[in-house]
Amino acid sequence: MTEHAGSRWIQVFLIILVALLCVPLVVMYIWLLEAAFAKQTYGIVPSGFTLSNWRFLWEGFKNMPSIWRITFNTLVFAAIVTVAEVFFASLTGYALSRMKFPGRRIFLSFTLVLHAFPAVTLLIAIFYVLLVMGLYDTLLGVILVKAALELPLGVWIMKGFFDGISWDMEMSALVDGCSRFRAWWEVLIPNIRPGIAALSIFSFLSGWSEFLLPYIFTSSFENFTLSVMLRRLIGDFRFVDYGLLTAAGLYYMLPVLIFFIFTQEYLLNIYAGGTKGTQI
């Protein structure tokens, strides 16, 4: 950028332009932050400081389970979805990358199509399936649905990472005395750790922020997740308590923010450094 962007003035101009374009975004976040701690806001100008917006942390909400229960549910939901997705995607991705079997190509194209398929169109069908299996209004049911919908993309990602590992290395493991499964576990998996990390991060975030599935397929209090709770805050009060809503929203975002702060270096490394994962 420094050498080719022309004169200094063009650079300054570009920076100002970009800054201006960012203003709406920045304003949104600033407002979110101050509204969570202010008695009232006039436009974006806050007035008075209060923690009362956060009283849900110790008092809970009206007509809802405790915030800790909801947080725990969300955590369980995101974590199990992540574990399931990584586990199945790394097995399936391996098979698709390494094994010859009838229908492999069709399977591959189907996973792509499935991923492109909007989940909304499947809602009714999924509802019936869950009902028949007795999984409607259970956390497990929603977890299974979410993991299944996320799996095609995960499989593709993992297949890509497995494709990047040379056959020689796997053959070498077999000759050294591994079974196929042992070679997968001891030699291939350690070499696609960046892929597993990326997939874990994304499926965890996707699970954490999932709204539609838990909203539709659960109804009992004990299955509430944070996103459903937020929706309740908007819908069930006669007039919306924006202070409470923003505080709850911030609470919902917090783990994601913390997560990003701690993993951003690793994430950047995955994208910038390719699959090698060498940190120099």
Partner 1 sequence: MEVRLVHLSKYFGEVRAVNDLNLEIKSGEFVALLGPSGCGKTTTLLMIAGIYIPTEGEIWFGDRIVNDLLPKDRNIGMVFQSYALYPHMTVFENISFPLKLKKVPMAERRKRAQRVADMMQIGHLMDRKPAQLSGGQQQRVALARALVKEPDILLFDEPLSNLDAKLRLTMRGELKRLQKDLGITSIYVTHDQVEAMTMADRVAVLRDGRLQTFSTPDDLYNRPQTLFVAGFIGSPPMNFIDATLVQENGKVVVKAEGMRIELPDELGKRALARAKSDRVVYGIRPEHVHLDPEGDIEAEIYVVEPLGREDLLDCRLLGGSVMGVLAPAGQPVGPGDKVRLRFEAEHSQLFDPETEHTLLW
Positions in the binding site for partner 1 (CB under 8 A): 166, 168-169, 171-179, 182, 187, 190-191, 193, 278
Distance CA 20, CA 11 (A): 14
Distance CA 246, CA 252 (A): 10
Distance CA 30, CA 26 (A): 6
Whole-angstrom CA distances from 79 to 28, 43, 110 are 29, 38, 26
